[in-house]
Chain A
């Protein structure tokens, strides 16, 4: 009797181990599959361009082709930085785009977080007289909106801010969905602390600024990260509204390079007319630009992703 129990106990232990192993296997394969595109782009950016033209992009960086003894071409593994060297010969457009994106992202995130959290805080106070109306105004936008054409008309005709920095920042300062997440968080703030401060004569503003905000730093960091993502990766807004080269943000600049060979040659080679253009290692340059456009956000992600995932799992999302 006891022996049967032992046997089945061992069986289920082995079954558990096998099951765990299979799950890990599936997850590893999936994780690697998810990373593969990243690896492809990085190694393509440090490959030799003529190797790419002959054989296509590969997962391993490929050096310049050599002719071996049989007279055939060989493609040795190796790193070639020619794409990056080419880009940094004249990086002015790239730097401009970086600057625009950084300015838009920083201003947009800071101002947006500030305005949204103020609104969310007020909405979380049960004694605010206009709470029902304001909440409805915010909630309703989640299920209904007027469409892109009205938005376009508003920005270009009524507000008349197209082709300005403001057009990249203003429309996104307050995002109703984030306001609601923040509001749900503020509702859970410990009342005792706020009451104590109120008894001491603190105004609502001070309650918000000196108590609510510091108590919600993790939540603000998470939403802040959403904002950063939204601004950094925005290519749609500049596509609609921006024409000036000096206001071209990073992702949009990348898109223009893909869409418009003239944009690429005009901004990558800054030589006086009449001089022969050196051959542009186009294939690898495109990949190198991609790496440069994705680099900052990837670094931020790697540093902050533990807060990010934690923020989501700890119920910043519920409701």
Chain B
């Protein structure tokens, strides 16, 4: 009886047991339904994130609209030269974005942690809602609106800061024409907008720490400060590490809202040299008919070098403490 069954299903026997399970009528219907359910989502991701990949080849070509993408001549890495200073000022934007992001990561993490510790101290009190709300609401404001807010502060004759300066007898400053102030302005604006998110994430991490640790520590006579150093921070290290690794991966990426809208680059070319990042360069190239292949090269550079950096940084972190690695 068994042999007969074996002969009958000899073809099926050749397949793996997993595939055999798949093809049974009951399971196949279920898996097919699941496949259909996942299909739109996956199709969308494949379309916008994977089908676009070949178009990045434009970075390696001497693009002429006449020849199209495939007909244009291959030039290897020539289009990347401008990013490294061999031609023109491309290195400026690379320098800008790395410096800004480094400052953002360091300040954002330190201040975010400090605020999270403070918020944890007063968590549940009447004011704590107010604190969280006011820290978090800038997340909801679009960058265009923020650029108007900046205008209200920094306009050379209507702005509040100059108004205050004149009324105490000081000379007003032409903010939108003075690139030297903008690294600070941009950093402060970035912190204003993004501190809320990182603080809440760290706060969530702190609240998850087992309170028994704190109780035991205070019975042992540890001060609050000591508790922070020896309990809170170490518990948050994996979280900090994951967030920092992710930030390193996007160290060449910048938010065009922050760097294009807030300094109003479209009307203040003087500010470009201290606020130009790769993303604003690409934005201007796309709008004003700049050279597409250079902009594409900049994009490839962002992704590839950023990816390499994450892999290397992750490898280093994995050696030190596997819990803290990204993957």
Name A's B-contacting residues (CB within 8 A). Answer: 16, 19-20, 23-24, 26-28, 30-32, 34-35, 37-38, 40-41, 44, 52-53, 55-59, 115-116, 118-123, 125, 128-130, 134, 137-138, 141, 143-154, 158, 171, 173-174, 176, 179, 203-205, 208, 229, 232-236, 239-240, 251-252, 254-255, 258-259, 283, 286-287, 289-290, 293-294, 297-298, 300-302, 305-306, 308-309, 312-315, 317
With A130-B35, A252-B144 known, 15 other A-B pairs at CB within 8 A are: A26-B118, A41-B152, A119-B40, A120-B41, A128-B31, A146-B300, A148-B279, A149-B295, A153-B55, A176-B45, A203-B30, A233-B142, A239-B287, A290-B148, A297-B141
Instruction: For the complex formed, measure the closest distance between the CB of B196 and the CB atoms of chain A, giving whole angstroms.
Output: 8
The 9 A-B pairs of least Cβ separation, nearest first, read: A147-B299, A56-B163, A119-B41, A233-B142, A150-B55, A31-B134, A150-B52, A122-B38, A149-B296
Please state if B55 and A154 are interface contacts (CB–CB under 8 Å): yes
Once bound together, how far apart are the Cα atoms of A188 and B320, in whole Å?
A: 30
Once bound together, how far apart are the Cα atoms of A239 and B256, in whole Å?
A: 12
Collect the chain A residues with CB atoms within 8 Å of residue B208's CB: 315
The interface stretch among B4-12, B81-89, B98-106, B119-127 is B119-127
Please state if B147 and A258 are interface contacts (CB–CB under 8 Å): yes
Please state if A313 and B49 are interface contacts (CB–CB under 8 Å): no
Collect the chain A residues with CB atoms within 8 Å of residue B164's CB: 56
A-facing residues in B96-136 (Cβ within 8 Å): 115, 118-119, 121-122, 127, 129-136
Please state if B35 and A255 are interface contacts (CB–CB under 8 Å): no
Name B's A-contacting residues (CB within 8 A). Answer: 18, 22, 29-31, 33-35, 37-38, 40-42, 44-56, 58-59, 69, 115, 118-119, 121-122, 127, 129-149, 151-153, 155, 157-160, 162-164, 166-167, 192, 200-201, 203-204, 207-208, 224, 249, 256-257, 261, 264, 266-267, 279, 282-283, 285-287, 292, 295-296, 298-300, 302-304, 307, 310
Collect the chain B residues with CB atoms within 8 Å of residue A232's CB: 142
Once bound together, how far apart are the Cα atoms of A146 and B302, in whole Å?
A: 9
